[in-house]
Amino acid sequence: MLPVIGELRPWADPSVTALHRLPMRPPTTAFPDRAAARADVRTDSAFWRSLDGRWRFRLFDHPDRVPPAAIRLEGDSGKHWTTLAVPGNWTVQGVDDHPRYTNVQMPFDGPPPRLPDHNPTGVYRRSFTIPRGWSGRQIVLHLGGAESVHTVFVNGRFAGYGSDSRLASEYDITGHVARGRNELAVVVSRFSAHSYVEDQDQWWMAGLHREVFIEARAAVHVHTLRCDADLRVDDGAGLLDVTAVVGGTAPPAAGWKVRVFAETLGGKRLGKAQVVSVPHRFVDPYGFRGHGVTAHFEIADVSPWSAEHPNRYRVIAELVDPDGDVAEVHAQLVGFRHVEITDGDLLVNGKRVWIFGVNRHDHHPDRGKALTLDDMRADLYAMRGLNITAVRCSHYPNDPRLLDLCDEIGMYVIDEANIESHAYNSSLADDTRWRSTWLDRGARMVERDRNHPSVIMWSLGNESGYGRNHDALAGWIREADPSRPLHYEDAIRQCGWHDGGRHATDVVCPMYATIADIAAYEGDRPLILCEYSHAMGNSNGSLADYWDAITNSPHLQGGFIWEWKDHGIRTTLPNGRIGFAYGGQFGESPHDGNFVADGLMSSDLVPHPAAHEVAWVYRPVTVEAAGRAKLRVTNRRAFSDLDDLVARWELLVGGTVIESGALTLPPIPALSSAVIPLPCERPDDADAHLTVTFTQVADTQWAPAGHFVAWDQVELRRLRRRRIAGAASKGAAADVLTTPVELALFRAPIDNDGFKLMPELSRRIGVGGTAWVGWEDAGLHRLPAADFADHEHQIDVLEDGSELHHHRVVVPDTLTDLARVGVTFRLPAGFDSVRWYGRGPVENYPDRNRGSLLGVWEAPVDEPPYLVPQEFGLRTDCRWFEMVGDGVSVRVEAFDPGSLHCSATHFTQADLLAAAHETDLVPRDELVVHLDVAHRGVGTASCGPDILEQYRVSPGTYAFSYRIVVTAS
């Protein structure tokens, strides 16, 4: 049993959030002079030491079973101990305790606050040295994050206990250390009473996953440096309140002062410094408010901070001792910006901004929750490359360095408290045992992150019901920081969009609302979807339809796609191959399967095809027709013109570029439009389009000059029924096809059709899409398509040897929701690339193709892009589609109608259906081709609305014709 606290068992008591933990503060490091403070390199400080690296580690099956010897110096022979990396999760470092994935359900039985009998508990051990020069200073241990709760022992003595896996805990260990070598033990329990409020949709991990360091702070030092930077919108003045709270091992005596000034990042002083005396008369009834000072500055004509222009300034705070000497210097970077809600709109610096957002978890496929600065930077750069300018920290405070990066490159952030009681979201919000937990987690988030200009809203958590605990936290935040609106989805879910939950949320922030519902919204708060367009597998249908509603409805300002990337964990899978694991593949039970693979990016940050559509939907400038001979160009930015972009146009007729040039634009200020003439004559030819692109003039942090930022295509002349022209043919199609042309009505279910790995979810409790259930019950996946629909197929062999195929398919009324109506055939080995005139360049589907331009494209045959195999690889609106092999090509030309949806892969639908993981797939040598006259949209039904009616494949008669031409390539 753990010394001192073993019998108290605080990990089982939800009302105990910490013991001996120091107050939260914004991250700040003391330096000896201004130059060092400006450089802000902690490793250069003589009073800061990282404890990251290899730690000794031993795992026990319960905190009660950790023997005192495990945390003391004596009796440690090394037997049963190993070494692990810190930061790191022991669950991904070869210890016999693996990750577990659940979405809503807890990984162990309740009710709260009951804990499982098996509660893995790790003891981390390492030594550290206290230098001679640290004598007389306050020695502080910083633990950046420990999942779930932790207990600290220094030299065998209890030093502190803390909860909240996603915020740092600091402890004064001065009285526990001696000069020279010391021994530190941190005991981390995987589950606790606080696990019930950390029930987010992610892997349950364990361990010390963020940085650990020790710091020697002066006996009198600046403990907290709070910088509230605001912007007076009407005249552009910066308003800065700097509060320095002095702390330490003893109260400051008379004569201590704090000198504060602001400067540019280049070091130019902004106005005069202010010197304020630190209060020292603590015996002053009704008058003493602590050892804190506040300096107020009004700075004319500052350059405001926004996601478009992330201008920052530096605040320098010097602690001056009674002799007039500078004891230490602190620096904080700030941005002047003003956030408010006025007349139902969210305004930044007085302007209505679009929220082009995505939800983001901490995740790395090898290190779990332990992310490096480079990992975070890679995430944000990739986001900005896709025109994403807002991130919701789902569902907990991220590493503070991520917020530093958001400040630097420009991202609007919803900072979210680490509160999610999803499995018990109707009870814990009113449970007084968790009241202190709610307040502690939300308040500490605000105290840590309030200096960041990127943070524009505080979120009270996620999927935790709505109750008195939320209102208590909301009241605290509103008093502590009235400069930012509050955000909480469950308040409006439970109480309604119009007047519901106003104390807890200033925005209407629904999850997975339908397009019809958001379009009908008429409330007086801004509507910003906290989650929409669930990116699980082949998904994100109707993104453009969502944004049609958003841009055409008052008070709708955008939302956050769920989510940024898959959470696959690289490991040896049950099939013996190395790959990215999802729930259940570590043998855990219960689990929620591949629901954890729901990102726009793969686990290792490779974009999924839908990312292309996101970049288009979130583009900062749009082009549309404005009559027959004009274009309307709209600047969607709030603070920038278009001078940083180069616009070009191309005129395409039949997919061929026949004319191009630079597009001359008039000045188009922020949030305005201009109507300009077409840059070319409207052609008489059918199937004519004008493409307009915008690329970066110069390099940015996230992309080089020439990066495509925005694109649009305007139809000038419609496609007409195509006439058949002769062609030099190498031979009849029948000589090349290895199978006959057959009717196809089925696709391997995408996650939005229904969970093939978790069929009970849709069948038993109605979660997710239901299309796959219908197909499976009907036998569409195992019986010939001809058993389900009448199919007439006529082939005319033309003089040149090409074949003209005519199909008439009658889908009966009993088949109300098919995957496709089309045909399939196969080609022999050797076909390894495709060319097509249709939408591209990447995979696209009928409800996810508005950002895919019509043109002539060429690419290798697609590889499966999704962790769980499913339908993939379609290209819509193809006028022709050509499979290229060794010396021969097979070309399909759409005839009536003039375009088809086409795909060519090395997998049959049966192959994709049978495979549970991407590593199960074995590509065929032959090429499997699909030609569809109708194909079901992809929607977002795995966690959200199913497809819109116009994207459904319904009963009726489908007639289509095409020609197959075989030529020398």
- With beta carbons less than 8 A apart as the criterion, state whether 952 and 936 touch: yes
Pick the closest to residue 266 from 200, 207, 211, 312 (CA basis): 312
| 355-360 and 390-393 strand pairing | parallel
CA distance 442 to 277: 31
65 — phi, psi (to 5°)?
-100, 10
Select which of 531, 563, 776, 871 is catalytic: 531
CA 370: distance to chain centroid? 16
What the block records as the tokens of 950 is 């116009």
Query: Phi and psi (nearest 5°) for 629?
Result: -130, 20
Q: Which helix (H) or strand (E) holds 471?
A: helix 468-480
Q: Judging by beta carbons within 10 Å of its beta carbon (0-12, 13-18, 19+), is residue 55 exposed, middle or buried?
A: buried
Query: Which helix H or strand E contains 742, and what residues bound it?
Result: strand 742-744
Beta-sheet strands, E only, within 897-955: 900-905, 927-935
Query: What is residue 479's three-state secondary structure?
Result: helix
> Residue type for 178, please?
A
Residue 531: active-site member: yes
Q: Which of 308, 463, 489, 893 is catalytic?
A: 463
Q: Are strands 180-189 and 569-572 parallel, antiparallel or unpaired?
A: unpaired
Contacts of 961 (CB under 8 A, 6+ apart): 804, 805, 806, 807, 895, 896
CA dist., res. 729 & res. 735, Å (int):
12
Residues 484, 490, 496, 501, CA torsion sign = negative
Residue for token digits 């969210």? 346
> What is the torsional sign of CA 602, 603, 604, 605?
positive
Residue 89 amino acid letter:
N
Concerning whether 147 is annotated as a catalytic residue, the answer is no
How many Å apart are CA 489 and CA 484, to the nearest integer?
A: 16
What are the structure tokens assigned to 236, written together?
């552009």
CA–CA dist 598, 359 (Å, integer): 11
Edge-to-edge strand ranges of the sheet holding 621-625: 621-625, 630-635, 673-677
- Provide the annotated active-site residues: 463, 531
